[in-house]
């Protein structure tokens, strides 16, 4: 998606440790016009399948998912990160390892809001090692819903998540796949470009 | 807002401890069509003032804020709850006491995304004791931005937050103010109704 790649090149900041800071438009301050364009792009890419629910994970996925949901005219459910004990039976739950925060947390979705008959599109801002997306996919599987695919805004193509999850058969559409980035020069190479 | 009040009456669940569960359409599963109607309502109520940024707080405020932002055609910034130390100077920070979770957490906004010249509308799903909204107002004040007002989806009129913050001079527009609710009968009385 050219508009997105241009924006990443213009406003993204490469930091040490393979960090791509895009918090001026994607995950702290949020450019809603860009989110609408992202929604239309996902709708086009997933035009061949039926979607009746979007699932994302708090916190930075929520805003994108809600604007994208307009293009699909479906509700959004967000999985909650929790450290509190939940009553067994009421929620689907899985564990997700966060490399950013260096810990494992529980991710839950109420059983009321996900189940058989749901055709679920996952939406998230980033795909890197794939742990969050893998967790969401497990929740969908546990619920008996059908996983239609995953729409990702920025994939770090040099990390293992995308390859691993595609190998597992998950259809992933990433709007910008960063093949490499150089902190010293600020140069970003996207997949499909020289 | 009639559509919202009808929805609360239909799908809201009153639990002990003055809890109003609306997670089937507001803050776990999210009805994006309803959010759009909410956005149009806020736009109308704040049509007399200029707004160039919406500020909310993670997690459940984000989805509403992003859909509401379409009606105002402005970007959204969400304040982050954090337990990690942040480098002084880079962020505005304040402390917010959460009664729901029984602890105090730090709330931060990057200085890059809030400052002089910003005319800020606060958006949140709930107003009860007012601690979260008060924290957001403090961040706006610290940044030198102008606080235009606050748009709240559901206010618990029997708790002190709304009264306290209006007394401080903050303009608050709440789309549904719950005056009382009865767990035993399921009856909800909204302000302005018998």
Question: Under a CB-based contact definition with an 8 Å cutoff, are residues A57 and A78 in contact?
Answer: yes
Cβ-based contacts of A78 with chain B (< 8 Å): 28, 30, 59, 63
Question: Under a CB-based contact definition with an 8 Å cutoff, are residues A159 and A19 in contact?
Answer: no
Strands B19-21 and A119-127 turn out to be unpaired
Say which CATH architecture domain A2-189 belongs to.
Answer: 3-Layer(aba) Sandwich (3.40)
Could you tell me the two tokens for A58?
Answer: 């708090």
Kindly tell me if the per-residue pLDDT of B82 is higher than 60. Answer: yes
Q: Which of A68-72, A86-90, A184-188 has the lowest mean pLDDT?
A: A86-90
B interface with A, Cβ–Cβ below 8 Å: 23-25, 28-33, 35-36, 58-59, 62-67, 69-70, 73-78, 80, 84, 101, 109-110, 112-113
Give the pLDDT confidence of A83-96 residue by residue, as tens digits: 666 556 699 999 99
pTM of the model: 0.96
Domain boundaries, chain A: 2-189
Mean predicted confidence (pLDDT) in B165-192: 97
The residue written with tokens 């109420």 in the block is A110
Kindly tell me if the per-residue pLDDT of B78 is higher than 80. Answer: yes
Give the model's pLDDT for residue A39.
Answer: 98
User: What is the chain A residue with the closest CA to B78?
Assistant: A28
Query: What are the residues facing B177 on neighbouring strands?
Result: B155
Question: Do residue A35 and residue B80 have CB atoms under 8 angstroms apart?
Answer: no
- Pick from A135, A134, A169, A149: nearest CA to A43: A149
Evaluate whether ipTM surpasses 0.85: yes
Give the model's pLDDT for residue A153.
Answer: 98
Q: Which of A37-51, A61-75, A180-194, B118-132 has the lowest mean pLDDT?
A: A180-194
Could you tell me the two tokens for B32?
Answer: 């994006």
Kindly tell me if the per-residue pLDDT of B24 is higher than 80. Answer: yes
Distance CA A172, CA A191 (A): 14
Q: How far is CA B47 from the centre of its chain?
A: 18
Mean predicted confidence (pLDDT) in A133-147: 98
Q: Nearest C-alpha of chain A: how many angstroms from B77? A: 4
| CATH 3.60.10.10, applies to B2-190 | no
Cβ-based contacts of B32 with chain A (< 8 Å): 66, 69-70, 73-76
- pLDDT confidence tier of residue A193, bands split at 50, 70 and 90: confident
- Average pLDDT of chain A to the nearest whole number: 95
Question: Under a CB-based contact definition with an 8 Å cutoff, are residues B69 and B60 in contact?
Answer: no
């Amino acid at each position: 998606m050219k508009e997105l790649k241009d924006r990443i090149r213009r406003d993204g900041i490469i930091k040490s440790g393979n960090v791509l800071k895009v918090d001026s438009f994607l995950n702290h301050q949020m450019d809603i016009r860009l989110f609408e364009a992202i929604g239309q792009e996902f709708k086009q890419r997933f035009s061949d399948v039926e979607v009746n629910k979007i699932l994302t994970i708090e916190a930075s996925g929520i805003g994108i998912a809600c604007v994208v949901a307009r293009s699909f005219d479906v509700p959004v459910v967000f999985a909650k990160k929790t450290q509190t004990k939940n009553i067994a039976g009421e929620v689907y739950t899985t564990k997700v390892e966060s490399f950013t925060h260096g810990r494992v947390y529980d991710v839950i979705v109420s059983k009321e809001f996900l189940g058989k008959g749901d055709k679920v599109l996952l939406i998230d801002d980033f795909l890197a090692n794939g742990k969050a997306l893998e967790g969401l996919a497990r929740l969908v599987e546990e619920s008996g819903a059908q996983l239609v695919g995953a729409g990702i805004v920025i994939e770090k193509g040099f990390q293992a998540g995308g390859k691993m999850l595609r190998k597992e058969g998950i259809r992933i559409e990433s709007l910008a796949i960063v093949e490499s980035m150089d902190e010293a020069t600020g140069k970003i190479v996207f997949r499909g470009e020289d």
